[in-house]
Amino acid sequence: MGTPDQLFLPFAEASASASYSATGSSYADAMADKTAREAFRYRVRENRRAKRIILRVTVTHGLEVVVPSAAARRQIPEILAKNRTWIERALKRLGDEQVAANRELQAPPAVIALPAVAEIWTVTREHDVTGARARLEQRAHHHLHLRADLRDSGGWQTLLRTWLIARAEKAFSAWLKQLSVRTQLSYARITVRLQKTRWGSCSRSGNISLNARLLFVAPEIASYVLLHELCHTKELNHSIRFWRLVERFEPNWRKLDRALTEASRTLPRWAM
């Protein structure tokens, strides 16, 4: 569910056109698309499950236009023109966030807060230029000791990410088991990873995958995501029946869903 690294803006349902197919378009359509691309660099992705045209600004792809059909492509220039202000602001915001992220990654964090499990970890950092293998030790009283070449952001990031996944696996395994007992919704197994585009997912066989970054959100939000995926073991879709099932166990799911979107914008960059 969800996407932790993007801003998006949905639009009204796109109407199909019999004169446009996936294999070609009119000269006017082609010129309109060329004009739009000159105004903004963007990527078009077709998703037949989408009910409307969506604009997304993501770290990975920049400006992305999601269309429900090939026919909807002809509406792109008009949509970009109408929403130029939003696009420019979103792209500027993304650029500012990337600059801030680069600054943030110049050194490992001194403190790691994990609101989902009410923990604050201190990180002592030892700069080692001997060429020895980087190490991360978990010590008592929520204390991590990092010994590494601190100029190598890729090295210390890998160590912290590996630790984050292990901490999330321990926390979410017990948490999901408790929710399963309370809701009587069973699952096969759980896996935890660092995922860029999903907070969680559930397979047809009942395997639940969770994003370790959920440790950085409030406990009620993390609980909602776990519950959301448990409900998918019963309803593997986002139908009315699915949301009714979610609401049965969490009446405030709409508020929590919005809060999850907001929380995605405050994640530490070393964990992205």
Please report, to the nearest 10 degrees, the dihedral formed by the alpha carbons of residues 28, 33, 39, 40 taken in order: 170
**Residues forming a β-bridge with 143:** 122, 139
Does position 31 have pLDDT exceeding 70, yes or no? no
Q: Is residue 255 part of a domain?
A: yes
- Residue 187: alpha-carbon gap to chain centroid: 23
The token pair that represents 148 in the structure block: 């590494």
d(CA 71, CA 18): 8
Q: Do 16 and 87 fall into the same domain?
A: yes
Q: Are strands 42-46 and 190-193 parallel, antiparallel or unpaired?
A: unpaired
Phi-psi map region of 141: left, alpha, beta (phi>0 left; psi -120 to 50 alpha): left
Segment 198-229, tens digit of pLDDT? 899 999 999 999 999 999 999 999 999 999 99
Q: Is residue 111 part of a domain?
A: no
Q: Do 85 and 174 fall into the same domain?
A: no
- Domain end call among 62, 77, 104: 104
- Domain end call among 42, 73, 104: 104
Please report, to the nearest 10 degrees, the dihedral formed by the alpha carbons of residues 141, 101, 266, 139 taken in order: -10
Q: Do 164 and 261 fall into the same domain?
A: yes
Q: Is residue 116 part of a domain?
A: no
d(CA 164, CA 174): 16
Report pLDDT for 169: 98
Q: Do 97 and 163 fall into the same domain?
A: no
Report pLDDT for 203: 95
- The maximal CA–CA distance of the chain, rounded, in angstroms, is 68
Q: Are strands 62-67 and 119-127 parallel, antiparallel or unpaired?
A: unpaired
Mean pLDDT for the stretch of residues 241-254? 96
Query: Is the distance from CB of 36 to CB of 76 less than 8 angstroms?
Result: yes
Count: domains in the chain: 2
Report pLDDT for 13: 27
The token pair that represents 41 in the structure block: 């660099």
254 against 23, higher pLDDT: 254
Segment 40-53, tens digit of pLDDT? 788 888 888 888 88
Q: Do 177 and 243 fall into the same domain?
A: yes
Q: Are strands 208-211 and 190-193 parallel, antiparallel or unpaired?
A: parallel
Does position 85 have pLDDT exceeding 60, yes or no? yes
165 against 41, higher pLDDT: 165
77 against 1, higher pLDDT: 77
The region of weakest confidence among 5-9, 93-97, 175-179, 231-235 is: 5-9
Q: Is residue 126 part of a domain?
A: no
CATH number of 180's domain? 3.30.2010.10
Q: Is residue 130 part of a domain?
A: no
Query: Is the distance from CB of 163 to CB of 130 less than 8 angstroms?
Result: no
34 against 267, higher pLDDT: 267
Which residues are CB-neighbours of 209 under 8 A, at least 6 positions away?
Answer: 190, 191, 192, 193, 195, 198, 200, 201, 202, 203, 229
Report pLDDT for 60: 67
Mean pLDDT for the stretch of residues 229-236? 96
Q: Do 84 and 13 fall into the same domain?
A: yes
Mean pLDDT for the stretch of residues 34-63? 77
Q: Do 99 and 180 fall into the same domain?
A: no
Q: What percent of the chain has pLDDT over 70?
A: 81
Mean pLDDT for the stretch of residues 73-87? 88
Report pLDDT for 119: 97
- Burial grade of 252 (CB within 10 A; 0-12, 13-18, 19 or more): exposed
Q: Is residue 180 part of a domain?
A: yes
Q: Is residue 36 part of a domain?
A: yes
Q: Is residue 263 part of a domain?
A: yes
Please tell me what DSSP assigns to residue 15. P
C-alpha distances in Å from residue 76, one per residue of 81, 89, 271: 9, 18, 34
Report pLDDT for 102: 60
Mean pLDDT for the stretch of residues 93-115? 77
Task: State which residues form the domain around 45.
Answer: 6-104
Q: What percent of the chain has pLDDT over 90?
A: 46
Q: Do 22 and 94 fall into the same domain?
A: yes
Radius of gyration of the CA atoms of the chain, in A: 22
